[in-house]
Every structure is written in structure tokens, then in C-alpha cells.
Amino acid sequence: MPNNKVDIYKKEGQLMVKCENYKTAIKGQEADEYPLIPTIDKKNSYQVKTEDLRQALAQVVFAVSTSESRIELSGVLFHFQPERLVLAATDSYRLAEKDVKLKSGQGEEKKIIVPAKTVQELLRIISSVRAEEMTEEEREVRIFVTENQVMFSVDGIELISRLIEGQYPEYKQIIPQQSETVCYLERVELIRAVKAASIFSKSGINDINLDFPAGKNLVVITSASSQAGENVVELAAEMKGKDNGIVLNYKYLLDGLNNIDSERIKLETINCNTPCILRPEKASDYLYIIMPIKQ
Amino acid sequence: MPNNKVDIYKKEGQLMVKCENYKTAIKGQEADEYPLIPTIDKKNSYQVKTEDLRQALAQVVFAVSTSESRIELSGVLFHFQPERLVLAATDSYRLAEKDVKLKSGQGEEKKIIVPAKTVQELLRIISSVRAEEMTEEEREVRIFVTENQVMFSVDGIELISRLIEGQYPEYKQIIPQQSETVCYLERVELIRAVKAASIFSKSGINDINLDFPAGKNLVVITSASSQAGENVVELAAEMKGKDNGIVLNYKYLLDGLNNIDSERIKLETINCNTPCILRPEKASDYLYIIMPIKQ
């Protein structure tokens, strides 16, 4: 439209817009027909620092299942506990879990599954909020939970979503409690080596081999395809424990490496049939588990 | 790979690449199995200024048909004539035609159909060539034509393509020779008005109405959809001839307007069932024809 005065008014259920030589009539609907905004009972409420929540959600939401066969895996688990909130997401091939400190623990212990779409929308809202212009209290997201709905309130914006019904899997039991081999690696170097190996992995399988020779302080990453050829990278690492080897889907591995915010990572394995764990070298509030590809 | 010396050598049909801790073996094929590059008989050759050809091809190639039902419309017609080259493309709903001066007319008169993909590849090559670093002679594309192949030679790069077989339609006969209404419009203002109207056109039909009231020096652009509403823009224009009106697909209209390199455009119509013509206000080397939507 021209850069000039715009007249806007209502006429017979239409929104009239006039500006110089432009005339537009936009069909409307009666205000009564607008869907009711559900009211949320503010009994169970939790507070989290906005930046903590943003980072935590981004670190888990990518692992949500996109398949429709198990609806409870298509959301992020929010497990509210005294003084902390545990977030988890899995598609049954890999799992990401993050611990966040609650600013107040006034709500009771509770587990809810929030649809991935809602989480992505919340991330968009949080990213658009300007933290530097806020008071300390405004830099918090308040979360209200009812039987089947959740409301996120941040900087005056309220996002209400239904919850996913169903039981989230008891994933804690698949997290290995001890490991046979532990290795520390430079994250950026590992990402580079995995990307180089990925070129020679089998398409559709995306398999790359990680070998941990005992007492050698290196990890050997190999891949081979009958069409393209093969690739070997020896990466310096700090190694503890037994001789070991594992085959992983390089895409899942890269997803995890890209979401760990640490210079060095800790990789733990038991054997080639058992989930392996990735963590930041020092922090204990994040973990990422990958199921290996069986040979 | 690390920023270090890279060793590359051949071993048993494989290309070996070594760099520090990275070792790669890439499977190869025997050089004998590489497809033969066809040799081109350099009898029919034509020269065009590189920049002229680049601009001309870009101004017509967008109108090529993407349907596979009429193979001869899936390419650009190159009609070599004494001292000039006429390029044309159409998908039978609209047609773009451009005249280019030949630098030398040593070849004979000839019509060829060059696949749209080849034209797009040629445009990429020309765009990557740095005109300012070339001599006058190097700033030319040489075109060699044989029975069923064409070669474009520019700045030492040779692009060889098969031609599309078949008869290009005798499109000249659908170009109206006289018109009932002629109007001159500011191109940018018309684009803006067409975009505003497009919001209210029927989806799938994309229809917008252009009305030319005699003696009023304005064009009225309207669109209406039963769901969204309606839009009217009155655009100042210089008008000659009869009262007239036409319904056009706004996408075809925008394609033409975006490819005319002129501040004002000339629009000619006969009636609502006859193709209308768009040209630059002054230049006579480009035209764009749109079939109207019948009411």
C-alpha cells in the first residue's frame, strides 16, 4: 500500500481498509465464534529462569519421536520434583535428559508430556523476549499445570497447550549405571571426524565404527561402503578401562555432540549391544544415550 | 581434515588420501570407462556478447514449460537469423521473446531448441565469469550448432548439450498485430497493485481483473474471493483507445513484469479473449504475451 494514511473500519461483518487508491474488504467472522480461551487453575505452579529453560528445551526437543505410532514419545517429558525439573525426550533410538533448577518448588511432584510443537512454539517465544530489558522477576517462566493442560507465562505472553495423555516410558532403567570403557574427547575434533566418516557409511544405515583400544589413548573411527570406499581417523583421547568397540548411527551421534555445550565430552560404553552415554566433561546435568547398531 | 599436508596417490584402482590422523580410500573407475566427449563440427558458428546473452536468456527461460507432455516446449528456441538471434520460450499460457544482436553472422539461418537445463547451466557459467578481467574478444559467447548438438564456448569453458528434436510452434501467428487499447504504466506500481490483488484471487485460478475505462487515464485492478473478501486498486495510467477489460493469472503477469527492465511498461489488449502484450515502454527487442482467463 502507498505510504499514507490508512482508514480501517467495520462494515457489515467486513473489515474495510482504505489507503489512497487501494480499497480492500476483508471478510470476517462474528467475535462470538472465536474459540474460548480455556481458563487455567493456578494451583500447581513452578518457576524457572527463562534462559535455563530455553537452553534445556533446545538440548532435548530434537530427540523427540516424529513417528506417530507411539504418541507418548512425540512430546517432551516434564518431571517436576522438589527444587528441580527433569526434561527428557526419546524416539527409542536415542534419549536426551536435562536437569533444570526450579526457582520455587511450591508445586507438587508431577509428570506431564508436552507436545513437541508446543515446546518449539515456547522456544520461539522465549527467543523473541529481550532479557536485558527485564527485571529479575520478569526473567522467569511460570508454568501452570492442570489435569490435561499446561500454561507457560513469560513476559506477559501466555501459551496454553493440551498435554499428551499416556504413560511416559520408565527410561531410567535403560541408563547404564556403570561402564567398562570411559573416554574423554575434544568435542569439535570428534564432530569433524564423525562427519568425515559419515561420507563412507552405508546409506540408510548410517553406521560408523568407534574402536577403543585399551591403553592406547586414542579412538579409531572407521567407516566403509562397498560403493564409495573407506575412511579411518585416529583421534587422540584420554582412555580408561577395557578394550571396546561400538557401531553407531552417525546422525544420532552428531545430534548429541551438537547439543552438548562443553569443550570436551565424556563417552561411556559397556559393550557393542548396550546403550552408550555422552555427557559434558564436567557438568552432570545433561546426558545423551544412543542405542548401538547391532552387527 | 586437519590443516596440514595432504598425500594423494593411486593404489589398486583406489584414490588414497592421507592427512595426519585421517586416512581415506575412495573407490574409482577405470579412465577408459569415462564417457566420450563428443566432438563438435565447427561449421555453423555464431558470436554474441556475453552480457547480452545472459540478460536475454534470463528474460525468456522462466516461461519454458515444465510439463512433460509437449517436449518441444521444454526448451528455449534459438532462431539464428542474419545479424540477429531471436530467443523464445512458452508454456502455451504465456510467451516471452527477445531479440539479440549477433556479433557476426557467418553461420546460416537455423532454428534449434536448447533444453531449459542447459540454458540454466549456461547462465550459471556466464555469471561466474568475470567480465572485467577479459579482453573485448573474450567477452563473447561462441555458439556452434550441429544436427543434434550445440556447444557454447565462453572464457575457455565449453558446454555441450543435445538439442530437443521436434518442431517449435509457429508462435508468431498468435502475436496480435494491432490492438484496441494501449496503456502505459509505472512498472513498480503495477507490480505492487498486482501483489495486493493476488491475496484476494481464487486459489488455483489466480485470477485478477484489469479494467481499462476509456478516456479516464487509469487502470482498475480488482479481485474477489468468496472466502477472503475483495480488493480494488485504481492505478494512474496513460490510456489510448477503447474501453476494455481482461482477466489474467497474476503469477504470469508478475513473471513478465519482473523480467522487463524498464521504468514504464506498455500493455496492449484487443478484448477479453485475445492474448495481451507487455513490452518495455521504449525498447522493441522484448515482448511478453499472456493468454487471458476466459469468463
Does the beta-carbon distance from B230 to A24 stay under 8 Å? yes
Residue A231 near residue A200 (C-beta atoms within 8 A):
yes
Chain A residues in contact with B208 by the CB 8 A cut-off are none
Does the beta-carbon distance from A234 to B24 stay under 8 Å? no
Handedness of CA B129, B135, B139, B143 (dihedral sign): negative
Chain B residues in contact with A234 by the CB 8 A cut-off are 21
B188 touches chain A (CB under 8 A): no
pLDDT of residue B295: 72
Chain A residues in contact with B27 by the CB 8 A cut-off are 227-229
Chain A residues in contact with B23 by the CB 8 A cut-off are 231-233
pLDDT of residue B54: 94
Look at the block and give the residue holding cell 522462466: B62
Average pLDDT rounded to a whole number, residues B21-40: 86
CA distances from A156 to A51, A68, A146, B23 (A): 16, 33, 20, 56
A20 touches chain B (CB under 8 A): no
Does the beta-carbon distance from B21 to A229 stay under 8 Å? no
Calculate the average pLDDT of chain B: 92
Sorting pLDDT into bands at 50, 70 and 90, what band is B128? confident
Residue B217 near residue B243 (C-beta atoms within 8 A):
no
The domains found in chain B, sorted by start residue, are 44-171 (3.10.150.10), 175-290 (3.10.150.10)
H or E segment and range at residue B284: none
Sorting pLDDT into bands at 50, 70 and 90, what band is B203? confident
Sorting pLDDT into bands at 50, 70 and 90, what band is B105? low
Give the mean pLDDT per block of 10 residues along chain A (295 residues): 89 92 91 82 86 95 93 96 94 96 79 97 90 72 92 92 94 92 96 96 94 93 93 95 96 97 96 95 95 89
The packing angle between helices A187-198 and A250-258, to 10°, is 150
Sorting pLDDT into bands at 50, 70 and 90, what band is B289? very high
Q: How far apart are CA B211 and CA B220, in angstroms?
A: 5
**Cβ atoms within 10 A of the Cβ of B115, count?**
18
Q: For an interface test with A, which of B219, B233, B234, B235 has the most A Cβ atoms less than 10 Å from its Cβ?
A: B233
Q: How far apart are CA B85 and CA B15, in angstroms?
A: 46
Least confident of A254-268, B39-53, B90-104, B211-225: B39-53
Chain A residues in contact with B26 by the CB 8 A cut-off are 228-229
Instruction: Kindly write down the DSSP assignment for every residue of B206-249, as one continuous string.
Output: -EEEEEE-TTS-EEEEEEEETTTEEEEEEEE-EEEES-EEEEEE
Q: In this prediction, what percent of chain B has a pLDDT beyond 90?
A: 77
Does the beta-carbon distance from A235 to B21 stay under 8 Å? yes
pLDDT of residue B107: 67
Average pLDDT rounded to a whole number, residues B194-203: 94
Look at the block and give the residue holding cell 538440548: A59
- Cell reading at B226: 468468496
Sorting pLDDT into bands at 50, 70 and 90, what band is B113? very high
The packing angle between helices A116-128 and A50-61, to 10°, is 140
Query: For A67-88, what is the HEC assignment?
Result: CCCCHHHHEEEEEEECCEEEEE
Average pLDDT rounded to a whole number, residues B126-147: 80
Q: How far is B239 from chain A (nearest CA, A)?
A: 18
Q: For an interface test with B, which of A22, A188, A226 has the most B Cβ atoms less than 10 Å from its Cβ?
A: A22
pLDDT of residue B119: 97
Residue B93 near residue B252 (C-beta atoms within 8 A):
yes
Residue B116 near residue B76 (C-beta atoms within 8 A):
yes
Phi-psi region of B174 (alpha: psi -120 to 50; beta: other; left: phi over 0): alpha
pLDDT of residue A105: 61
Q: Write down the ipTM of this complex.
A: 0.74
Q: How far apart are CA A243 and CA A269, in angstroms?
A: 10
Q: How far is A66 from chain B (nearest CA, A)?
A: 31
pLDDT of residue B26: 94
pLDDT of residue B35: 83
Who has greater pLDDT, A179 or B132? A179
pLDDT of residue B17: 95
pLDDT of residue A107: 67
pLDDT of residue B30: 83
Sorting pLDDT into bands at 50, 70 and 90, what band is B156? confident
pLDDT of residue B225: 92
Q: Which residues pair with A183 in a beta bridge?
A: A239, A267
Q: Is the pLDDT of residue B136 over 80?
A: no
Size (chain A), residues: 295
Q: How far apart are CA B223 and CA A161, in angstroms?
A: 38
Q: Which residues pair with B218 in a beta bridge?
A: B236
Q: How far apart are CA B53 and CA B46, in angstroms?
A: 12
